[in-house]
């Protein structure tokens, strides 16, 4: 949009007119702090849209996926899972010419989003975002992808501070069912006609992907295989302090494992949720921990319900878990 000059007092637009001047998406270009705001309000940028933009760029939303179906899986796909896709349901249905919208952990060339030749939209989850609200940035990318020409990628940008979030765009009753892939072949519809850049990106991504499997018997738990040992990483929706107390109770009682040779080694925080991590022997596969994980979920529910003060042993166990806790985001 071309930059507008300040208008006289008699013709200066009211805020509603200024918003319309920015377009229906509120897409206001970034200009110098002391320049007139491009929305046409007549104020300097730093005192108008620049103020909201600066606030949005620094304010961190600790639980950006709160309120979405499958919050734990959103966190897992953002931080833990190399290759996965999920079909998304939009409020009001899909726009004309868009047969489906698919969330993907990663897209080729690290594109934030892609509108395929057939109109399908792919939205990348593991990209860097420009503001402190991942949900708002992803929603902005999704809206632009829905309107993009087929066959074009969508670049990232800082989302307008007043733009919708994913919670505003996605159907809250729609299913969220991740499909974990062995590699990134879902990137291309026709591998034989893929560009050299996409082919090279696909080969690099497949070489770096850690084998990962989503458990079926409990929510948001992912087994992964590494050269030295396997792991189970389980995104849990409970308040952190309550969860750590419950884990400490089980750990002190020797009931925090998932079978012989397994060990609860700590946890990390990611996007406002706590993710306990277990070490597993290298021979223990995802199917081997399905039943132990379901049994652990029952023990955890009992421990979460306890209101008794922690014993000395439980406090020591809690301290050990807390000392091994890492914050990812």
Mean pLDDT of the chain: 87
Confidence of residue 292 (pLDDT cuts 50, 70, 90): very high
Cβ-based neighbours of 239, under 8 Å, separated by 6 or more: none
Query: Helix or strand or coil: residue 211?
Result: coil
Confidence of residue 213 (pLDDT cuts 50, 70, 90): very high
158 neighbors 144 (Cβ within 8 angstroms): no
Residue 32 pLDDT: 63
User: What is the per-residue pLDDT across 293-324, written as a single tens digit (0 to 9) for each?
Assistant: 999 999 999 999 999 999 999 999 999 999 98
Confidence of residue 20 (pLDDT cuts 50, 70, 90): very low
Mean per-residue pLDDT, 27-32? 65
Residue 129 pLDDT: 85
Per-residue burial over 166-204, b if 16 or more Cβ lie within 10 Å, else e, is: bbebbeeeeebebebbeebebbbeeeeebeeebeebbee
Q: Is the pLDDT of residue 5 over 70?
A: no
User: What is the per-residue pLDDT across 149-160, written as a single tens digit (0 to 9) for each?
Assistant: 999 999 998 899
Q: Render 32-75 in DSSP notation, one character per residue.
A: -TTSBPTTSSSSBGGGTHHHHHHHHHH---S-TTTTSTTHHHHH
Q: How far apart are CA 1 and CA 323, in angstroms?
A: 52
Q: Is the pLDDT of residue 328 over 60?
A: yes
Residue 6 pLDDT: 33
Q: What percent of the chain has pLDDT over 70?
A: 86
Q: 110 vs 74, which has greater pLDDT?
A: 74
Q: Is the pLDDT of residue 285 over 50?
A: yes
Residue-range domains of the chain with CATH: 25-58 (no CATH), 71-208 (no CATH), 216-327 (3.30.1460)
Residue 268 pLDDT: 94
Residue 54 pLDDT: 55
User: What is the per-residue pLDDT across 232-268, written as a single tens digit (0 to 9) for each?
Assistant: 999 999 999 999 999 999 999 999 999 999 999 999 9
Out of 23-27, 59-63, 216-220, 325-329, least confident range = 23-27
Query: Helix or strand or coil: residue 139?
Result: helix
Q: How many CA atoms lie within 13 A of 214 on its CB side?
A: 22
Residue 120 pLDDT: 97
User: What is the per-residue pLDDT across 152-196, written as a single tens digit (0 to 9) for each?
Assistant: 999 998 899 889 999 999 999 999 999 999 999 998 877 677 778
Residue 21 pLDDT: 30
């Amino acid at each position: 949009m071309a930059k507008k000059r300040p208008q006289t007092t008699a013709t200066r637009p009211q805020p509603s007119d200024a918003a319309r001047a920015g377009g229906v998406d509120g897409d206001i270009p970034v200009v110098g702090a002391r320049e007139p705001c491009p929305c046409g309000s007549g104020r300097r940028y730093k005192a108008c849209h620049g103020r909201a933009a600066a606030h949005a760029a620094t304010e961190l939303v600790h639980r950006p996926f709160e309120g979405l179906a499958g919050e734990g899986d959103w966190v897992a796909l953002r931080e833990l899972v190399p290759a996965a896709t999920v079909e998304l349901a939009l409020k009001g249905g899909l726009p004309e010419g868009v047969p489906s919208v698919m969330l993907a952990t990663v897209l080729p060339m690290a594109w934030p989003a892609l509108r395929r030749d057939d109109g399908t939209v792919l939205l990348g989850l593991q990209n860097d975002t420009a503001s402190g609200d991942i949900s708002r940035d992803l929603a902005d990318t999704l809206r632009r992808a829905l309107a993009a020409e087929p066959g074009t990628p969508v670049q990232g940008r800082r989302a307008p501070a007043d733009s919708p979030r994913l919670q505003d765009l996605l159907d809250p009753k729609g299913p969220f069912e991740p499909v974990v892939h062995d590699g990134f072949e879902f990137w291309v519809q026709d591998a034989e006609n893929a560009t050299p850049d996409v082919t090279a990106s696909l080969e690099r991504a497949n070489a770096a992907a850690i084998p990962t499997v989503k458990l079926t018997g409990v929510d948001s738990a992912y087994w992964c295989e590494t050269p030295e040992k396997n792991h189970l990483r389980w995104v849990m929706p409970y308040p952190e302090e309550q969860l750590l107390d419950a884990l400490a109770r089980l750990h002190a009682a020797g009931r925090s494992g998932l079978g012989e040779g397994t060990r609860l080694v700590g946890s990390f925080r990611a996007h406002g949720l706590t993710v306990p991590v277990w070490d597993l022997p290298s021979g223990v596969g995802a199917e081997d921990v399905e039943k132990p994980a379901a049994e652990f979920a029952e023990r955890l529910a009992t421990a979460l319900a306890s209101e008794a003060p922690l014993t000395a042993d439980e406090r020591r166990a809690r301290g050990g878990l807390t000392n091994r806790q890492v914050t990812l985001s």
